[in-house]
Amino acid sequence: MEVLLIFDIGKTNKKVLLFDRKLKVVLEEESIFQEITDDEGFPCDDADQLESWILSTLHKYLASEKYQVKGINFTTYGATLVYLDIEGKRMTPLYNYLKPLPDQVLEGFYERYGGVKEFSRQTASPVLNMLNSGLQLLWLKRTKPEVFGRVHQVLHLPQYLASLVHGQVVSEHTSIGCHTVMWDFDRMEYHPWLKEEGISLPDPVPIGSTFPMALEGTMIEAGIGIHDSSSSLAPYILAAREPFVLISTGTWCISMNPFNNEPLRSKELEQDCLCFLGVHGKPVKSSRFFLGRIHDLNAEHLQRFFEVEKSAYKAVVPGTKVIREYWKSGEKGQLFFREGIPETGVDHQVDPDQFESFEEAYTRLMTDLTRQVVNSIKLIIAKKDITKHLYITGGFAKNPIFRTILCLAFPDKQVFTSEVDNATSLGAALVLAENIWKGTAGHLDLGLTEVKE
């Protein structure tokens, strides 16, 4: 069986998946590695173990009599850099993007480039410290100059792991263009600060680029790796037939619009919007809201008050008429979050005793919470909007209140739920498959079910 071999490297779980010619998963294995500590005692991924696992897994499937590996690709978490010396060897641990950034590293930095607001707007990057991977370079230069002085090449993690297979040093847009502070979205090139700090990075190449090579007697196409957030969007960009907004729900609700070409404004950035570069190297405007976490905290608060089971909210299915009445009461009629989201996440200003039942309280909570999501989505809708569909993925695609309100809030769009298993891995397989098995995207099933009000 001809297959594509995909490594899906998360912070917690490391997976390998095999996809057949129809891009169906025919095998999946998962491993969990214990973290180690870096040279300063902060937790980080064990790079040696990760590299060893990749190479042994590769050997295992290349030697398989059941599968014929036609291509290999990687999708991994972002905001992680790998530093190579002149011999191409990794020099440091995989520094964790949660590692604190000392204040002195950024002294005078933003001021040199127009201040925090303007610099953040140019680079479409909120101030996230080490989550801005470019600032990791600045940190290395300021705090470990002897190490920085020996750095010959810098790669993001997806491209480094891919280089273990094909041996090439490349960059691509999805890793460089995701809140890294490295990319100038005005000029659509690397930001000048990198050159001024003596930092050189490879020019980005198209995400579908591959390197044909012989491995253990087998001819394969080796991909260049892709950032996981863009990888999960790739099946929709490559297979959807109409312009859309993707609403990915879970702990965070991330709304993504690949069809909004308007430049990111400072006001949008302040409201948790950003742009990242998608699989075609074009900006994707995105907004986020802490939906899942705020939902869970408030639902638990109501569950304790009404003394119902933790999963009671899953059984709440109010009639469309009730939801429509709550929704049409507008922001003036909302009860929860009238003054925004509290720091604790729980709105204690709402007295649960005013509701006759848990079902009523939860319906009201979910209506007012979804109103916040609607406002977040509207931030990424262009003035000259061409999107026709909303695709909802993740846990809240199963929530009838959430689904109904999106239909009410966007009557000009068709709303669909979408079930795509292993979307992140599938994206990495898809950009590879388009080079090996032409036209694969045209046959991809996005698992769409239309939602009616």
**Segment 119-146, tens digit of pLDDT:** 999 999 999 999 999 999 999 999 999 9
How many CB atoms are closer than 10 A to CB 68? 13
Which pLDDT band, with edges at 50, 70 and 90, does 174 fall under? very high
**Statement to judge: residues 234 and 124 lie in one domain:** no
Sort residue 129 into left (φ over 0), alpha (ψ -120 to 50) or beta: left
> Average model confidence (pLDDT) for the chain?
95
**Statement to judge: residues 234 and 306 lie in one domain:** yes
**Statement to judge: residues 306 and 174 lie in one domain:** no
Is residue 431 included in any domain, yes or no?
Answer: no
Average pLDDT over residues 350-377: 96
Position 210, amino acid? T
Is residue 423 included in any domain, yes or no?
Answer: no
Q: Go through 344-382 and write b for each residue having 16 or more CB atoms within 10 A of its CB, e for each that does not.
A: eebbeebeeeebeebbbbbbbbbbbbbbbbbebbebbbe
Is residue 41 included in any domain, yes or no?
Answer: yes
Please check whether residue 393 is in contact with residue 248, taking contact to mean a CB–CB distance below 8 angstroms.
yes
**Statement to judge: residues 64 and 211 lie in one domain:** yes
**Statement to judge: residues 192 and 325 lie in one domain:** no
**Statement to judge: residues 220 and 252 lie in one domain:** no
Q: Identify the CA nearest to 226 among candidates 188, 275, 277.
A: 277
pLDDT at 347 over 90: yes
Annotate 200-227 with DSSP letters as a single string: --PPEE-TT-EEEEEETTEEEEEE--EE
Is residue 237 included in any domain, yes or no?
Answer: yes
CA distance linking residue 230 with residue 209, whole number of Å: 16
Report the domain count for the chain.
Answer: 2
Residues 6+ apart with CB under 8 A from 42: 95, 96, 99
Please check whether residue 375 is in contact with residue 420, taking contact to mean a CB–CB distance below 8 angstroms.
no
Q: Per residue in 145-173, pLDDT tens?
A: 999 999 999 999 999 999 999 999 999 99
Position 259, amino acid? F
Position 370, amino acid? T
Token pair recorded at residue 292 = 């899942």
CA distance linking residue 412 with residue 389, whole number of Å: 9
**Statement to judge: residues 123 and 188 lie in one domain:** yes
Is residue 425 included in any domain, yes or no?
Answer: no
**Statement to judge: residues 219 and 231 lie in one domain:** no
Is residue 159 included in any domain, yes or no?
Answer: yes
Half-sphere exposure of 15 (CA within 13 A, CB side): 21
Please check whether residue 177 is in contact with residue 109, taking contact to mean a CB–CB distance below 8 angstroms.
no
- The label of the residue with tokens 């790669």 reads 155
**Statement to judge: residues 175 and 263 lie in one domain:** no
**Statement to judge: residues 161 and 220 lie in one domain:** yes
**Statement to judge: residues 114 and 212 lie in one domain:** yes
Q: Per residue in 289-312, pLDDT tens?
A: 999 999 999 999 999 999 999 999
Between CA 128 and CA 181, with CA 283 as vertex, the angle to 5 degrees is 30
The CATH number covering residue 247 comes to 3.30.420.40
Position 266, amino acid? S
Give the domain-ending residue among 206, 224, 242. 224
Please check whether residue 418 is in contact with residue 227, taking contact to mean a CB–CB distance below 8 angstroms.
no
Which pLDDT band, with edges at 50, 70 and 90, does 435 fall under? confident
Which domain range does residue 374 map to? 227-418
Res 314: pLDDT: 95
Average pLDDT over residues 115-119: 95
**Statement to judge: residues 16 and 27 lie in one domain:** yes
Is residue 450 included in any domain, yes or no?
Answer: no
Is residue 407 included in any domain, yes or no?
Answer: yes
For residue 293, the Cα-to-chain-centroid distance in whole angstroms is 17
Res 43: pLDDT: 97
How many CB atoms are closer than 10 A to CB 453? 13
Phi, psi (degrees; rounded to nearest 5) at 365 = -60, -50
Please check whether residue 313 is in contact with residue 303, taking contact to mean a CB–CB distance below 8 angstroms.
yes
Give the domain-ending residue among 224, 257, 276. 224
Give the domain-ending residue among 224, 247, 267. 224
pTM as predicted: 0.91
